[in-house]
Amino acid sequence: MATSSIPPPRPAYLSTSASPLTAPKDLFTALAQAPRVLLDEFTIPIRSGRAWTATTGSIVRISTPLGPQVGDLNIWNAANPRERFWAARTRQLHASHVSTLDRLWSCLPYMRPMVTIVADSLARYGTDEHGGRVHDLLGTRCDPYINTVLSGGEYDYHCHSNLTRAVLPFGLAESDIHDVINLFQVTGLDGDGRYCMSPCPAREGDFIEFFAEQDVLMALSTCPGGDLSLWGFGGDSEKEMAKCCRPLKVQVFGLEDQHWLSSRGWKPSDPANYRGMHGLVVAGGEL
């Protein structure tokens, strides 16, 4: 049987040991195990949302205290919400599904890591028999607009609505909500390239941890689809999906040794150093 002469595709962006795409493994492995103190802790009820801040150098753990549940996460720079998580670029720089040592990047013109994943108990999931992986960057949040288009009904507790309500106390609005990372969600593409979802594989106590590379505002929605085992909208499906909905828990930690990071040479990333001229040179008088 003849073999194809077409070489396999290469990733668009390849990381090296010196690349900003590559989080320092030794540093972040040690960081995940460093002594820490609890700064904040709360549980987000089903079909709800909440926002909170985390300072540079803190660690945010999001967990499934009662079993499988999908969560939709947004991130902004706490002082400048124009800088926010860019799901599409993160997908290009790392992968369609992310895990330990992957970074979540901010939008233009900032283009720098917002958080780095330092621990992920669902890394064990790998790739299933359908090509599905966990912690999805392929899709985005459920929203009431597409629900109305497809079903003709109205429902106010989609992730988009939950996130909108969550950020209002922080001075943000619906227009600030952006494409999410779907935590604990398994997705993939079928043979025709269509977006597919599988039930959440998380068990009681599973978690993912983010290291704050800058001061961040984070907002999380407990998806009204729950663990996605009964997914569907319209008719009585909202009531059916409630049967597989569970809360999510958030904990924010600080390092016990406040000099731990600086003593190891870590410092926050600066915004991209591009001058922003876009090839334009505007003369301002006689040269």
- What's the confidence (pLDDT) of residue 281? 77
Q: Please, what's the largest Cα pairwise distance for the chain?
A: 73
Helix %, strand %, coil % for the chain, to 5? 20, 30, 50
In contact, 200 and 185? CB cutoff 8 Å: yes
Residue 177 lies in a domain: yes
- What's the confidence (pLDDT) of residue 3? 62
pLDDT, tens only, 157-179? 999 999 999 999 999 999 999 99
pLDDT, tens only, 224-262? 999 999 987 666 777 888 999 999 999 999 999 999 999
DSSP state of 11: -
In contact, 104 and 160? CB cutoff 8 Å: no
- What's the confidence (pLDDT) of residue 61? 98
- What's the confidence (pLDDT) of residue 16? 79
In contact, 204 and 65? CB cutoff 8 Å: yes
Q: What is the DSSP secondary-structure string of 74-125?
A: EEEESS-TTSBB-HHHHHHHT-SB--TT-EEEBPTTT-SEEEEEEEEGGGGG
Confidence band of 60 (pLDDT split at 50, 70, 90)? very high
Q: Is the pLDDT of residue 124 over 80?
A: yes
Q: Is the pLDDT of residue 286 over 90?
A: no
Spell out the alpha helix ranges (H) of the chain.
25-33, 87-93, 144-151, 159-167, 237-241, 260-263
- What's the confidence (pLDDT) of residue 199? 95
Predicted TM-score (pTM) of the model is: 0.94
Domain count, the chain: 1
- How far is Cα 67 from Cα 65, in angstroms, rounded to an integer? 6
Residues 6+ apart with CB under 8 A from 189: 131, 138, 195, 196
Residues 6+ apart with CB under 8 A from 193: none
- What's the confidence (pLDDT) of residue 214? 98
Residue 10 lies in a domain: no
What string of H, E and C letters represents the secondary structure of 25-46? HHHHHHHHHCCEEEEEEEEECC
Residue 267 lies in a domain: no
H/E stretch holding 219: strand 216-222
- What's the confidence (pLDDT) of residue 283? 66
Q: For the chain, what percent of residues have pLDDT higher than 90?
A: 80
Q: Is the pLDDT of residue 212 over 90?
A: yes
Burial label, 258 (beta-carbon count in 10 A; 0-12, 13-18, 19+): exposed
pLDDT, tens only, 96-115? 999 999 999 999 999 999 99
- What's the confidence (pLDDT) of residue 7? 85
Confidence band of 12 (pLDDT split at 50, 70, 90)? confident
Residue 8 lies in a domain: no
Residue 94's domain spans which residues?
A: 25-256
- How far is Cα 211 from Cα 29, in angstroms, rounded to an integer? 11
> 104: which 2 tokens?
């979540």
Residues in the chain: 287
Residue 133 lies in a domain: yes
Q: What mean pLDDT comes out for the span 5-28?
A: 88
Residue 285 lies in a domain: no
Confidence band of 2 (pLDDT split at 50, 70, 90)? low
- How far is Cα 262 from Cα 255, in angstroms, rounded to an integer? 12
Q: What mean pLDDT comes out for the span 184-210?
A: 96
Of 232 and 65, the structure prediction assigns the larger pLDDT to 65
Q: What are the φ/ψ torsions at residue 196 (nearest 5 degrees)?
A: -130, 150
